[in-house]
Copies of this chain bind each other. A is one copy, B any other.
Amino acid sequence: MKARVHVMLKNGVLDPQGEAVRHALGSLGFAGVEGVRQGKVIELDLAEGTSEDTVKEMCEKLLANTVIESYSVEMV
């Protein structure tokens, strides 16, 4: 079974990487890009029977820095 975890910077936390992408898109001539936020996606290949709670524990302990990042877990 698989799980997909999205880790994004929380709103209000400055995202220089996203800002750089926004700027670069403007330089390339793409108009109308009003904001860009960049985050991580982590695809986990798990043994059968692993619960969503276990994946959330992985997020809390390793995958996300919960001070500045929020995460969401999706079992697929």
Interface, chain A (partner B; CB < 8 A): 6, 8, 18, 21, 24-25, 28, 30-47, 50, 54, 57-58, 61-63
Contact = CB atoms under 8 A, between A and B. Distances in A.
A43 B36 contact: yes
Contact of A28 (B18, B31, B34, B62): B62
B36 A39 contact: no
A65 to B, nearest CB: 14
A34 B47 CA distance: 7
A35 to B, nearest CB: 4
13 contacts: A8-B41, A18-B42, A21-B42, A25-B58, A28-B62, A30-B54, A30-B58, A31-B47, A32-B46, A33-B44, A33-B47, A38-B42, A40-B41
